[in-house]
Each structure stands twice: as structure tokens, then as C-alpha cells.
Amino acid sequence: MPNTDIYQGTLYLDSNGRYCVRAREREITFTCGHPMDIKIGRQWVEGRVEHDHGRGGYYFTSGTGRRNQEGDWTPLREGMAARYVRRNA
């Protein structure tokens, strides 16, 4: 059975303009294609980070087609609840 490590916190921008989460004395930096979960309402939604200048920079997509006010993407903002789940075999 795989082990799971969860790094959870709030998003902030680093000096390179990338979104990060600091959790358990570790900094996780999210770049294009990086898996992440964000909390929408009371529910964690699994997806990934992407970047598009036309969408204002970095955004989250679940890739499921689940629609929200922007479609299947949500702009990332500082202070959003986010987590990275690392699954070990």
C-alpha cells in the first residue's frame, strides 16, 4: 500500500513570481504541470497548476471539465488554501 505525504498551507508568491506553500519546514514550489489540490468551499479539489498570460498568469485546473465561474480553471491568488500530496510507492 502506498504511503502519502501531505504538505498543506496557504499560497504565497516567491521572489521569482511562482506560487509556493510552506509546510512542515519545507517549501513546495508550484510550476506548470505540478499537481496540487485547492480548497473550493469546504471541498479539496485535485488538479494541477498551469500558466497562461491570457488568463493572468498561474491558474489551477482540475482537468475534469467541472465548471466554475471561470470555466474549468481558477486563477491562483495569495492566501488560497492549497496542498501537495506526494504518493510514495
User: Could you tell me the CATH number of the domain that includes residue 56?
Assistant: 2.40.10.390
- Parent domain of 84: 3-88
Q: Say what the pLDDT of residue 17 is.
A: 93
Q: Which residues of the chain have pLDDT under 50?
A: 1
DSSP 63: S
Q: What count of other Cβ atoms lies within 10 Å of the Cβ of residue 46?
A: 13
Number of domains in the chain: 1
Q: Say what the pLDDT of residue 40 is.
A: 85
Q: What is the pTM of this model?
A: 0.81
Query: In angstroms, what CA-CA distances link 31 with 13, 20, 52, 86?
Result: 12, 9, 12, 15
For residue range 65-84, list pLDDT tens digits in order.
Answer: 555 555 578 899 999 999 99
Within 13 Å and on the Cβ side, how many CA atoms surround 40? 17
Q: Say what the pLDDT of residue 15 is.
A: 95
